[in-house]
Amino acid sequence: MNENLSQKPTALVIDDEVQMRRLLRVNLEAHGYRVVEARTGQEGITEAAQCRPDVVLLDLGLPDLDGVRVLQRLREWSRVPVVVLSVRDREDDKIAALDHGADDYVTKPFSTGELLARLRAAQRRAQPTTELTVFRSGQLEVDLTARLVRRKGREVKLTATEYSLLRLLVQHAGKVLTHRQILREVWGPTYVEQTHYLRVYVAHLREKLEADPTRPRLLLTEPGIGYRLLELTDAA
């Protein structure tokens, strides 16, 4: 690999309009970026996992997934800076994108100078983190980008709520999460006292993920506090 190329920051452009992708490629490459393109939301999510870009430029009007949904999927496992580029100029659209994890919002058409300045600002604000895309503990494997859960190599079917609960535990593996923290993150702030919901869904997860649900090794109860997902090194 060319050493200079490997040192260039990578920009992932997710946009279904070929002319826009071409315009962005020309301008970004002229200013020192390596450019990776995706024309659909799912393709963009896959590329983000594979090429680990330094910044993402995201259109909201994609043919398969709305851009806000792509943002939600990316934020399940990645903190990469995301700058939305969209013809939508309503305040509601901007608020929705920013609330779901966008770092900035630029309305089309835009000037190249302003866009580059906003990209630099988003990258400066970004905190370097180690991104977890696949979590393994004992016989459990959770692929956060593909939203797949496997035990002993076989896919485990989870409901949307079960997956949200497991994903939260994976993101904080090894740490104790309180009942209130989990209920707020998975069910919402109005459910923080509904601990019976949590007991039911933890039991569901144990039935599907533990070798012996009555003697859990993965998903442990911290009495009076909450739950903790262990990172097991053995395959038992």
**Whose CA is closest to 94, among 60, 140, 45?**
60
Alpha helices in the chain (DSSP H): 3-6, 18-30, 41-51, 67-75, 91-99, 112-125, 160-171, 179-186, 195-209
Q: What local confidence, expressed as pLDDT, does residue 81 receive? A: 94
Q: What local confidence, expressed as pLDDT, does residue 101 receive? A: 87
**Cα gap 170→77, rounded to integer Å:** 10
Q: What local confidence, expressed as pLDDT, does residue 128 receive? A: 61
pLDDT(24) > 90:
yes
pLDDT(89) > 90:
no
| 134-229 has CATH 2.40.37.20 classification | no
pLDDT(5) > 50:
no
Tens of pLDDT along 37-66? Answer: 999 999 999 999 888 899 999 999 999 999
Q: What local confidence, expressed as pLDDT, does residue 131 receive? A: 67
CB 169 within 8 Å of CB 217: no
Q: Which residue has the tokens 């770092």?
A: 103
| 3-125 has CATH 3.10.20.740 classification | no
* pTM, 2 dp: 0.67
Q: What local confidence, expressed as pLDDT, does residue 127 receive? A: 61
- The token pair that represents 189 in the structure block: 């702030």
Please, how many CA atoms are within 13 Å of residue 125, restricted to the half-sphere of its CB?
15
Tens of pLDDT along 101-148? Answer: 899 999 988 899 989 999 998 888 876 656 678 999 999 999 998 899
Q: What is the mean pLDDT of residues 227-232?
A: 90
Instruction: Please provide the average confidence, as pLDDT, over all residues in the chain.
Output: 90
Q: What is the mean pLDDT of residues 80-102?
A: 91
Q: What local confidence, expressed as pLDDT, does residue 236 receive? A: 54
Q: What is the mean pLDDT of residues 216-230?
A: 92
pLDDT(2) > 50:
no
Separation in Å, CA 20 to CA 13, 144, 152? 9, 30, 44
Domains of the chain: which residue ranges?
A: 3-125, 134-229
**Cα gap 229→175, rounded to integer Å:** 7
| For helices 67-75 and 41-51, angle between their N-to-C axes, nearest 10 degrees | 30
The backbone region for 188, taken as left when phi is positive above 0, alpha when psi lies in -120 to 50, beta otherwise, is left
Q: What local confidence, expressed as pLDDT, does residue 220 receive? A: 94
Separation in Å, CA 153 to CA 69, 76, 77, 143, 156? 28, 22, 21, 12, 9
pLDDT(191) > 80:
yes
